Homo-oligomer: A and B are copies of this chain.
Amino acid sequence: MEKNKQLLLKKRPVGLPTKETWALTEVNIPQPNDGEFLMKCEYISLDPAMRGWLNDVKSYIPPVQINEVMRAGGVGKIITSNHKYFKEGDYVYGQTGVQQYVVSDGKGYHKIDPSLAPLPMYTGTLGMTGMTAYFGILEVGELKEGDTVLVSGAAGAVGSVVGQIAKIKNCKVIGTAGGADKCKYLIDELGFDGAIDYKNDDIAIKLKEYFPKGIDVYFDNVGGEILDLALSRLALHARIVICGAISQYNNTSAVKGPSNYLSLLVNRASMKGMVVFDYAKDYEKASLQLGQWMMQGKLKSKEDIYEGIVNFHETFLKLFSGEKLGKLVLKVSDD
């Protein structure tokens, strides 16, 4: 009889997760009660934010508990349903967790259409990634036409969409990424105006070249040194969007605070944090806009897809090693 493979959090990591962080287990496939459905998960979204959920600290959502299925967004097909809205054969997105099957009452789930776009894209540009980019740059960053924009982690899932949206809004867009290939990708494939290879370039000098009059909007996915250098290059009334800080997530010592934060005072600038869930009521509007931009060829989506729930650990680490391009997705179903 087929089983449901699940990935459990076994031990809280200090620093980078190790194999001991996780345990793979098999349980019986659950059956839906009245008002519930059973879904087969096909693709799981892998995101830097997941690292934060492993820490036993107060945050915007509770940490994943030990021996609990690892939290993750996923897409797949409904196998059987006792739910009045979600029917057998429907494709859906939801917080499935890292497992092959899940029973849900539908809370937080929504239908997706695999005939319009490939399934994995609904975990990325047409999913939470796209939402984060959309609300982050347009609402939190208060993007205006003609702004000069810096995006860190620009070859990543969120960053690549942020940069493209800013280009659509006629902004000058520079991205930071690790390595010449990713930088070339930003310029040649995504239409960025420039790229900074943080592994090889002198970031401060490049920022000075690219932003002679300062940065209007800095969309920060990485924190650390790049945040500090961006702060030292702000334009008057600049806005910094704090979306993430991947450089700091696996720290075993304290997070590096931005020493140059007094630039906020000098430049009457702001630094604002965001969590995408706050924008849930407007997801549909954003999805439509992102979908339209994709149809018009203005917005490209790139997924980097790996296979096998048994490979979760190695795949997850690619988020932090940078060995991936665009949205990192794991195919967890066996077929």
Give the Cβ gap from A113 to chain B, nearest Cβ, in Å: 31
The interface-forming segment of A19-27, A159-167, A251-259, A310-318 is: A251-259
State which of B60, B228, B266, B270 has its C-beta within 8 Å of the C-beta of A257. Answer: B228
Whether A254 pairs with B265 at a CB distance below 8 angstroms is no
Residues of A5-27 at the interface with B, using a CB-CB cut-off of 8 Å, are none
Give the Cβ gap from A212 to chain B, nearest Cβ, in Å: 14
**How does the 8 Å CB contact mask read for A269-291 relative to B, with 1 for contact and 0 for none?**
11111110010000000000000
The distance in angstroms between the C-alpha atoms of A228 and B259, with both chains bound, is 12
The distance in angstroms between the C-alpha atoms of A59 and B266, with both chains bound, is 6
State which of B59, B244, B262 has its C-beta within 8 Å of the C-beta of A245. Answer: B262
Whether A257 pairs with B254 at a CB distance below 8 angstroms is no
The distance in angstroms between the C-alpha atoms of A223 and B257, with both chains bound, is 12
The distance in angstroms between the C-alpha atoms of A260 and B256, with both chains bound, is 9
Give the Cβ gap from A59 to chain B, nearest Cβ, in Å: 5
Q: List chain B residues, Cβ under 8 A from A274.
A: 265, 268
User: Which chain B residue has the least Cβ–Cβ distance from A60?
Assistant: B266
State which of B223, B259, B264, B267 has its C-beta within 8 Å of the C-beta of A262. Answer: B223
The distance in angstroms between the C-alpha atoms of A254 and B228, with both chains bound, is 12
Contact A248 B262, CB 8 Å, known A228-B257, A257-B228, A257-B257:
yes
A329 adjacent to chain B (CB < 8 Å) = no
Give the Cβ gap from A240 to chain B, nearest Cβ, in Å: 9
Whether A273 pairs with B272 at a CB distance below 8 angstroms is no
The distance in angstroms between the C-alpha atoms of A259 and B259, with both chains bound, is 9
Whether B275 pairs with A266 at a CB distance below 8 angstroms is yes
The distance in angstroms between the C-alpha atoms of A267 and B61, with both chains bound, is 11
State which of B59, B245, B261, B273 has its C-beta within 8 Å of the C-beta of A242. Answer: B261
A243 adjacent to chain B (CB < 8 Å) = yes
Whether B264 pairs with A242 at a CB distance below 8 angstroms is yes
State which of B244, B248, B254, B262 has its C-beta within 8 Å of the C-beta of A273. Answer: B262
Q: List chain B residues, Cβ under 8 A from A275.
A: 265-266, 268
**How does the 8 Å CB contact mask read for A50-71 relative to B, with 1 for contact and 0 for none?**
0000000011100000000000
Give the Cβ gap from A164 to chain B, nearest Cβ, in Å: 23
The distance in angstroms between the C-alpha atoms of A273 and B58, with both chains bound, is 27
Whether A262 pairs with B268 at a CB distance below 8 angstroms is no
Q: List chain B residues, Cβ under 8 A from A272.
A: 264, 268-271
Give the Cβ gap from A196 to chain B, nearest Cβ, in Å: 21
What are the 4 closest A-B residue pairs judged by CB atoms, nearest first? A257-B257, A265-B273, A264-B273, A257-B259
Residues of A within 8 A of B (CB): 58-60, 223, 228, 242-245, 248, 254-275, 278
**Can you list 9 residue pairs at the A/B interface with Cβ under 8 Å?**
A242-B265, A248-B262, A256-B257, A257-B260, A258-B261, A267-B273, A268-B274, A269-B272, A271-B272
